[in-house]
Amino acid sequence: MADIKVAPDDVKADMTIDCKGLSCPMPLLKTKKAIQKLQSGQILEVLGTDPGSRNDIPGWCERAGHEYLGEKQDQGFIRFYVKKG
Amino acid sequence: MSVLKEKIKGVYEGLCAKNWSPLMGGILLAFFVVLLETWYRPWGIVGGLRNWADWFFYGLGLYEDEPPHPLWFSSSILDIGLVWGAFISAALAREFGIRVPPKIEFIKAIVAGILMGIGSALAMGCNVGGFYMAVNNLAANGLVMMIGLIFGVILGVKYLYWELEHFPSAGGFEISFRKINPILGVIALIGLLLATKAYFGSEADDGATLGGCLILTAAIGYTMHRSRFCMVNALREPFMTGEAVMGKALAISLILSAIGIAILKYNEFRPEMAYVTPTFGIGALLGGFIFGAAMVVAGGCGSGSLWRVAEGQVKLVVVVIFFALTNSLVRHLFAEYEVIESGYLGKAIFMPEYLGYAGTLFLIALAVIVWYIVIDWNEDTNKLVLEM
């Protein structure tokens, strides 16, 4: 695992996308597309299973001006949270 | 916790749990491929996959000649070692799990695998043998394949954008083995050491040679997985997100390994024509283009597909199967019609014959530096990023 940033307990998503079972680069591409539909300050939840997303999503957030809020481990998948910048 | 325990935990986490940087991955990859070539031969992927597929078709009665035994054939051992090492990395970091993608991904995997098989047959190697190891073995076809790969990658990214609009997918799942991952990792590590010892202890002439190949490619697999070193990522991200970290790591890895292998060849420690294939021409260019587009859709190149297989990505298992089968069939057809011998794919150009060793290294460094500057500039400007 990478250095993991844990998302706050009270984080609430405005939109959720399912990227479970997908491998690189599809989770990031779907994230990139979905965030276009949100307003600034809204939160996107990405459900994924690819360990590579732990690098890809935070790295992309930094470049694209979004805030990576962290992740939560669930049963058999991970919830990633991105706040649109 | 005592200071000593904390230090031991820190070392374990650094070696086995946390991701290594792409740059560290690139430097270590260069180190291990030079060691492997010093030990016995250049690193490659497709030859091993083809050997496994050859057995399949031989079993069906399609091929007349019996292929070499996969456990006593160096090309096959290179792939076994890579998968084994990557599995150890994935399991020790609790990242191994069976990841089943949505249905559309299976169709993409089959099509991409077939195209990767065709592309790698034309280029006589995938991104590893046809590009990375060709360039660092001072073969001109490697640079030509790089051009083909870049344009193929652009097409692949455009396809993925189109697909997102027209075929949204969901419904994949993972069968997790998180709890037992470390145990699986330790078992695999012990197994690797025992297998290596068995090769070194065998009475076969090439036992020690293959044992060295196994442990060195396991180190490559471990390194690639731990750093998630991915040549698709390196070539794709400048056009998809603008990110250049992996692209820069690949550039540094290429030049370091080229210097190391140039020394081996200059001193006649290895044959100069090793990994110089007669594909300088349409073979490397078209093969690179097809392979580049397909590897983006597959989500893994030759090496990247294998280490993702080792972490349980079912899509990449399908990719690798169709990649291997198609490459075997196309190369079989090439042999039947003497396509390679007739020079249809291009010429075999060992660059030092024309430019000298210094001139060749200068050319490779120049190509790598231009690539480095362009993706660095693009990282700030996003000029090359394709609009979604």
Three-class secondary structure of residue A51 per DSSP = coil
Q: How far off is chain B from A46, nearest CA to CA, in Å?
A: 12
Contact A39, A76 (CB under 8 A): no
Provide the residue-wise pLDDT of chain A in tens; the chain has 85 residues: 456 899 999 999 999 999 999 998 999 999 999 999 999 999 999 999 999 999 999 999 999 999 999 999 998 899 999 999 9
Provide the residue-wise pLDDT of chain B in tens; the chain has 388 residues: 689 999 999 999 999 999 999 999 999 999 999 999 999 999 999 999 999 999 999 999 999 999 999 999 999 999 999 999 999 999 999 999 999 999 999 999 999 999 999 999 999 999 999 999 999 999 999 999 999 999 999 999 999 999 999 998 889 999 999 899 999 999 999 999 999 999 999 999 999 999 999 999 999 999 999 999 999 999 999 999 999 999 999 999 999 999 999 999 999 999 999 999 999 999 999 999 999 999 999 999 999 999 999 999 999 999 999 999 999 999 999 999 999 999 999 999 999 999 999 999 999 999 999 999 999 999 999 999 999 8
Q: Where are the domains of chain A?
A: 15-83
Q: How far off is chain A from B259, nearest CA to CA, in Å?
A: 30
Q: Which fold has domain A15-83?
A: Translation Initiation Factor IF3 (3.30.110)
Closest residue to B299, CB basis, from A1, A26, A60: A26
Strand partners, A48: A19, A78
Q: Complex ipTM above 0.90? A: yes
- Residue B220 is encoded by which pair of tokens? 């490559």
Q: Where are the domains of chain B?
A: 21-381
On chain A, the residues whose CB falls within 8 A of the CB of B379 are 63
Contact B28, B257 (CB under 8 A): no
pLDDT score for B268: 96
pLDDT score for A1: 46
pLDDT score for B45: 98
- Beta strands A77-83 and B97-100 are unpaired
**Residue of chain B nearest A54, judged by CA positions:** B19
- Tell me if chain B has a CB within 8 Å of the CB of A72: no
